[in-house]
Structure 1
Amino acid sequence: MKKHLSLLFVLFFICNFSLAQSDLSLKEAVLGQYAQFYPEHIFGFQWIDDEGSYAYLKKYQNLVVGNAEGDEEVILHIRDLNKSVDGRFTYFANLSWINKESFIVHQKQVIAKYNIKDKKGKKIKLPEQAENIKFDPHYKYVSYSIDNNLFYSSIDEFKGIPVTNLVDLNVVSGQEIARSEMGITEGVFWSPTSDKLAFYQKDETYVHDYPLLDIDKYPGSLNSIKYPMAGQKSERAKLGIYHLKLDTTFYVTAQHGQENYITNVSWTPDDQFLIFAEVARSQKHVWVHKYKYDGTFVKTLFEEQSDTWVEPERPAYFPSNESNDFVWVSERDGFDNLYAYSKEGKLQSKLTNNKFVLKDVVAAENGEVFFTATGKNPLNTMLYKVDGKGRQKLLTKEEGTHQAVVSPCNQYVFDQYSSIDIPNKAVIRSAKGKIIKELLVAQDKLASYGLSSADISHLVTSDDVKLYTRLIKPKDFDSSKKYPVLIYVYGGPHAQLVTNSWMAGASLWMHWLANQGYIVFTLDNRGSANRGVDFEHIIHRNLGELECKDQMKGVEYLKSLDFIDTNRIAIHGWSFGGYMTINMMLKAPESFNVGVAGGPVTDWKFYEVMYGERYMDTPQENKKGYEETSLLNRAADLEGDLLMIHGTSDPVVVMQHSLALIRKFVEHEIQVDFFPYPMHEHNVRGKDRYHLMEKVLNYIIDKNVR
């Protein structure tokens, strides 16, 4: 599933509101996750200059400015900004510092520029249809898209200048492509000098128009989206290079296949070249290309191949603004590591040689690269740095989940982190990792509810692979009693449910259910994230097979516990987890009494090209794999009670998945329950989320009896 979409449902964070020794209600647990019970955090932290000045938001409406080795103060309230620019900002939305005296904010289509020294500001308003707003590095210009075209304007005075003027709606410019896979999160890439901008353009002419029903119209109508299913025609990508002064665009296309992907775009520091990855549609081959600013091909710098898949997710990083030498992230040796290349593509050194997963590159400047990685414990997210000679240093000694922002010149690091025992802590560190200033220590605002802690452990498979687990007990747990179980599952790539973070990454509704007399259990099976190639790629061409075997290892463990009612085991998951829920009920019907599957994949041939073909190849290439992993072919094996839930406007896992499987159940005269969420997409959000979780958990409680 899409990384950002799958994680949206999988990871329910805990929030903060406190009542005196009272029970947590389900409504509080669901709707209060963020607004009430989330531990106090520092939001919007940014370094302002290379002298240690920083800023962040306090309660979203107060702007705080301080210094790493000095004091801090509130310098501006949102009402003062609104008064200056005649604005209606509700908070300091998308704030970015232009220099140490001025910043820019934008909320929807309104942009405001404010000078904190003279306390004056001004605003411009983009067209109401403007989307995908992106500023250049110097905050002179802003680019935006309207429908399928790309525009830009000065931020001092609005004047919409078209970059493209396309009539054919099948050709889209300036937006994300490849359905946001392979690290693609944006569609525009400004050059360092702001004189040029590169942008994605996709031709979806040959992609199937998939209908979604719009019931808000009278009468109802169909909205068509472009949805390339596995093995079908896909989009064709280009990279445009627009020169502002010349009002001219040069286009670059994939060299090795019309439907290949263009990813990981970056400009070199001298503003003269673009480096990007071309990924074969098969996703088994990647070419890293270098092009001149006028679209002239320079050379292919290097290639990588894999029998499973290659998945470049990060652009080239340039540790020095004075050189086009770069650092590339690759998992070619089994784990993501940093490789230093010359500007001509010659491998100079392997900067890191870690046997653990690199998660993100935080900064690359002044000859150093700062990055987060699991370290030896795959449940952690730790901060490291490495210099050009490969000298690596761990900067965060405290185990947990760290998020970092590195200051200019690499002098300081803002570090905000949590762990199973720490709700949240925010500090400023020196470049060597020493804490020099404490900004925040959050309290556990759920303490008065007396929730039980989540127990993290691990199981070992027959072939000696460690699988991490999380188990939540009722707060009044009695080992002499027998408890029913809910297994919460995701199980797919790019997600990790069990982490060393506050409440072990569990959702607050899980604690509510535990306090109704349940054991809530989660296991991260092989194929899930942050364990390296051997652990993650083993699922290739057979999604759901090994994953279910690992999950059944968890079931076996549960059945060995004296306090488990082995006749009352339920399972629930969403998206890939919905697929796993039904898959496990069909593979082991004797083990599961009830299941709730949300937004489930039911046959991988119905899923989209970019994700589906990476893990399964095409249906034409892997006929046996698609047949064996299809839930449609095993519908007759269902025995327990099953509730399927689907958003009627889901553009990720389209409704065809659920309807096709329900038809199979009808053919086999098997009764199941189905609940559609009208006009909701892949996740049910807003106030309706409470309705969703009430439906899910009531179904489990009511049906999980024998």
Structure 2
Amino acid sequence: MKRIFHFILFCCMTALSATAQEKKAFTLEDVIPGGENYFNLVPKSMPGLQWWGDVCVRTDVEAIQQIDLKNGKEKPLVTLEEVNAALSGNNLPYKPEYSIKPLRTLSGASLPWGDRKVILFSGKAGNEQVSENYMFCYDFGKKQITNMFRIPEQGAANYDFCKANGYLAYTAGDHLYIANQGETSKAVSPKKDNEKLHDIVYGQAVHRNEFGIYKGTFWSPKGTYLAFYRMDQSMVTDYPQVNTSTRIATLEPDKYPMAGMTSHQVTVGVYNVQSGKTVYLQAGDPTDRYFTNISWSPDEKNIYVIELNRDQNHAQLVRYNAETGAKEAVLYEETHPKYVEPQQPLLFLPWDSSKFLYQSQRDGFNHLYLFDTASEVTPVEKEAKAGGTYKESVKVTPLTQGDWLVQQVLGFNPAKKQVIIGSTEISPLQTNIFTVNVNDGKRTLIGKEDGMHYAQLSASGTYLIDNFNSFSVPREISLLPTNGKQGTVLLTATDPLIENYNLPEITLGTLKSADGKTDLYYRLIKPVNFDPNKKYPAIIYVYGGPHAQLIHNNRFYDARGWDLYMAQKGYVMLTVDSRGSDNRGLNFENCTFRHLGEEEMKDQVEGAKFLQSLPYVDADKIGVHGWSFGGFMTTNLMLTYPEIFKVGVAGGPVIDWHLYEVMYGERYMDSPQDNPEGYKNSNLREKAGNLKGRLQVIIGGTDPTCVPQHTYTFLRACIEAGTHPDLFIYPEDGHNMMGRDRVHLHEHITRYFEDYLK
């Protein structure tokens, strides 16, 4: 009897143990950013890592830690307690009008001077009625506050600190200010009475953040000057966005220049910090021109601007006199029958102020070219490998070459005469870090060949912080010497989602594009607990447009949490990076020029045919989902290939490229005046009568990117054609849903496919 009892007890314990070890199902709260459990299930990281010169530090809540390069051990450098003690003391540079509020964290602090024991951080002062922003400099050698910037303007943003002169530039409203130690900020931009909101904007990013533009102020190397953008939008039509959260809905117009319409005019000002005077670059008529990628010469005598015509097929690198604003020379010109797209400012060599690096796609892939301003040549127009022409007024030497592209320049190692880059040389699915010898172009890999590497370079260029992950490595953070030798691993993370939850099988492969010769990468996700004898519905998640790539050699091959969730729901999930997407070279991207949606759709159909060839996919149950350009693709696929795609969810879609903004729209489509046929063929209202399956359109109620008019006009066309799409709006949301709205969004998308595709 005892033996039987023990046997039964053993079986029960074994069953309990097996149950305890079974992996769980996950929810959207686990896998969607904004979900309650999302951040508990991503691989651990080390936020706040940065360089203090050549010293690695980590900013945290309670302290800033110094990290030993050899063994990775930490020791406190600055504590929150001592900073707050200095803020509450009597040795402030001046007595503020309101009491300074204690800091809650040092995680946002920075150490801009590698040779000074000073941190820069922000804080607040005030009472229940008044709140003011401050920036502070804390000397942790002297243990005192050495500088305070009072920022009295409400809504201050775009902070740009100059470590060379200790000044802070920032914007508030439409105006530009600078501050130094003391209580009074100074307006760089003139103010006028009864000035219409957003007509004239100073110090902010222009051209709707195209051409690599992400800021509007540019300090000179020694801090003598501040270059800034001035944007005149008075001639641009107001788009009537409506805020429905007020008792009576409020009109909040947005300056939105649509394709073919009048665009804003930009000029570049140069403010002299000492004299307080501003000159403007004498670039001529700014109408229908783009002023991009502003950079300074090391001696501050010149400003360089890459200027682009409205057609975006002719770029010029122009040099200006910083003191007078006079135009001095055109150093380089580049044309292309489709488009030229400058994305990066030039970079002068730290050891030779007569030479700089310039980035161009003229040979088909983005590469580095070394310009020697001391060696002038007679400009001669030459044929470029990728089509178009170029003309050089100084000696130019290609520094990198090949069927791969330079993605970023991290900086220089002056002692070794090297530039450190991130590139796709190993694979277009990866970013790897290399040193490049500027004298001979020789490259040396830093870190592992596998995966995606996100790096920060130390001041001397001798070390970098490498944050690395791949499909097989959740995360590894290391301090690596740039000589290619082994470094110190700071963190090796596991993936709690993989460890604790039952996840689907994810595979990577290639298929031929519709042209029959180009390899396209795809990511295939099989349902959780896959049964090869079953037939499953399938969904293609799509983007397909320029400057986006949905598949990388990183966690889950870049699959989003929703893709995993739908696989758990019993769907086969496919993503294909079609022609027109990023990191495969100029010809791969610009084959869609003047007819967006055509070649990309053909490639997505090849993906659908691949799905239909799989014995476990129900060929009659294929859906599609995408956002923004992917929303355009989703709608287009549903209307063009209704026999293939039965259910679609289109988020924030472009419907009619006439209604999209000038810079992006005209680059890839030309203007409506020059390409009427292309605009007509890509206008999805023309296909509204083709809708046969179930299509839901989801938008943000005040989307400033793909304005709501796209969707409203499409609905009207469908009404007139007798077709019946569905609509869901997120009031007051923009182009993307964030936080809890993001979880709700994916619940809503899931319900739609569950209701109509399964």
> What TM-score do the two structures reach when normalised by structure 2?
0.87
Q: Distance in 1 between matches of 2:268 and 2:351?
A: 24
Instruction: Work out which of the residue numbers 436, 444, 451 in structure 2 matches 1:393.
Output: 444
Report the secondary structure of 1:342's partner residue: strand
Instruction: Work out which of the residue numbers 89, 102, 109 in structure 2 matches 1:95.
Output: 109
| Aligned CA distance change for structure 1 residues 98 and 20 (closer, same or farther; 3 Å) | farther
Q: Give the CA deviation at 1:346.
A: 1.1
Cα deviation digits, residues 155-197 of structure 1 (max 9, x gap) = x323211111132441111000000000001000001111110
Q: Within 5 A, what are the aligned runs for 1:272-671?
A: 272-294=301-323, 295-320=325-350, 322-343=352-373, 345-366=393-414, 367-389=417-439, 390-446=441-497, 447-461=499-513, 462-671=515-724
What residue is the counterpart of 2:229 in the other structure?
200
Q: Distance in 2 between matches of 1:56 and 1:210?
A: 44
| Aligned CA distance change for structure 1 residues 702 and 83 (closer, same or farther; 3 Å) | farther
Q: Distance in 2 between matches of 1:459 and 1:107?
A: 54
Using the TM superposition, name which of 643-652 and 407-416 deviates more: 407-416
| Aligned CA distance change for structure 1 residues 104 and 207 (closer, same or farther; 3 Å) | same
Does the Cα contact within 8 Å between 1:237 and 1:259 map onto a contact in 2? no
Report the secondary structure of 2:208's partner residue: helix
| Aligned CA distance change for structure 1 residues 657 and 57 (closer, same or farther; 3 Å) | same
Q: Give the CA deviation at 1:126.
A: 1.1
Answering whether residue 156 of structure 2 is matched by residue 130 of structure 1, we say yes
| Aligned CA distance change for structure 1 residues 700 and 82 (closer, same or farther; 3 Å) | farther
Report the secondary structure of 1:179's partner residue: helix
| Aligned CA distance change for structure 1 residues 550 and 211 (closer, same or farther; 3 Å) | same
Instruction: Work out which of the residue numbers 168, 175, 178 in structure 2 matches 1:149.
Output: 175
Q: Distance in 2 between matches of 1:500 and 1:640?
A: 34
Q: Distance in 2 between matches of 1:579 and 1:224?
A: 24
What residue is the counterpart of 1:5 in the other structure?
none
Q: Distance in 2 between matches of 1:62 and 1:572?
A: 45
**Rg bigger for which structure?**
2
Q: Distance in 2 between matches of 1:464 and 1:544?
A: 19
What residue is the counterpart of 1:7 in the other structure?
none
What residue is the counterpart of 2:42 in the other structure?
38
Mark the runs of 5 or more structure 1 residues left unpaired by the alignment.
1-17
What residue is the counterpart of 2:56 in the other structure?
54
Does the Cα contact within 8 Å between 2:348 and 2:354 map onto a contact in 1? yes
Q: Give the CA deviation at 1:62.
A: 3.8
Q: Give the CA deviation at 1:297.
A: 1.3
Q: Which amino acid aligns with 2:587?
A: D
Give me the identity figure in percent: 35
Does the Cα contact within 8 Å between 1:321 and 1:365 map onto a contact in 2? no
Q: Distance in 2 between matches of 1:111 and 1:129?
A: 15
Q: Distance in 2 between matches of 1:192 and 1:20?
A: 59
Does the Cα contact within 8 Å between 1:430 and 1:436 map onto a contact in 2? yes
Q: Distance in 1 between matches of 2:347 and 2:57?
A: 26
Q: Which amino acid aligns with 2:510?
A: H
Where relative contact order (Cα < 8 A, 6+ residues apart) is larger, the structure is 1
Cα deviation digits, residues 252-310 of structure 1 (max 9, x gap) = 25447522000000111111111110011111000100111121211011100011111
Q: Which amino acid aligns with 1:68?
A: L
Q: Give the CA deviation at 1:90.
A: 3.9
Q: Distance in 2 between matches of 1:132 and 1:186?
A: 7
| Aligned CA distance change for structure 1 residues 91 and 545 (closer, same or farther; 3 Å) | farther
What residue is the counterpart of 2:388 in the other structure?
none
Instruction: Work out which of the residue numbers 171, 190, 193 in structure 2 matches 1:165.
Output: 190
Using the TM superposition, name which of 534-543 and 445-454 deviates more: 445-454
Does the Cα contact within 8 Å between 1:254 and 1:260 map onto a contact in 2? no
Report the secondary structure of 2:253's partner residue: strand
Report the secondary structure of 1:324's partner residue: strand
Q: Which amino acid aligns with 1:57?
A: T
Q: Which amino acid aligns with 2:25?
A: D
Q: Which amino acid aligns with 1:594?
A: V
Using the TM superposition, name which of 454-463 and 20-29 deviates more: 20-29
Does the Cα contact within 8 Å between 2:165 and 2:222 map onto a contact in 1? no
Q: Distance in 2 between matches of 1:89 and 1:514?
A: 45
What residue is the counterpart of 1:75 in the other structure?
77
Q: Distance in 2 between matches of 1:55 and 1:563?
A: 52
> What TM-score do the two structures reach when normalised by structure 1?
0.94
Answering whether residue 741 of structure 2 is matched by residue 688 of structure 1, we say yes
Q: Distance in 1 between matches of 2:102 and 2:343?
A: 37
Does the Cα contact within 8 Å between 2:237 and 2:257 map onto a contact in 1? yes
| Aligned CA distance change for structure 1 residues 598 and 291 (closer, same or farther; 3 Å) | same
Answering whether residue 188 of structure 2 is matched by residue 140 of structure 1, we say no
Q: Distance in 1 between matches of 2:151 and 2:428?
A: 45
Report the secondary structure of 2:234's partner residue: coil
Report the secondary structure of 2:635's partner residue: helix
Cα deviation digits, residues 347-393 of structure 1 (max 9, x gap) = 33111112102111111351321110111411010111212222222
What residue is the counterpart of 1:111 in the other structure?
135
Q: Distance in 2 between matches of 1:541 and 1:107?
A: 49
Using the TM superposition, name which of 405-414 and 86-95 deviates more: 86-95
Considering only aligned residues, what root-mean-square deviation do their CA atoms show, in Å?
1.9
Report the secondary structure of 1:439's partner residue: strand
Mark the runs of 5 or more structure 2 residues left unpaired by the alignment.
1-19, 88-99, 125-132, 375-392
Q: Which amino acid aligns with 2:536?
A: Y
Cα deviation digits, residues 420-475 of structure 1 (max 9, x gap) = 01111011111222222111101111111031242111111343101101111223
Q: Which amino acid aligns with 2:519?
A: K
Q: Which amino acid aligns with 1:66?
A: I
| Aligned CA distance change for structure 1 residues 300 and 208 (closer, same or farther; 3 Å) | same
Does the Cα contact within 8 Å between 1:318 and 1:365 map onto a contact in 2? no
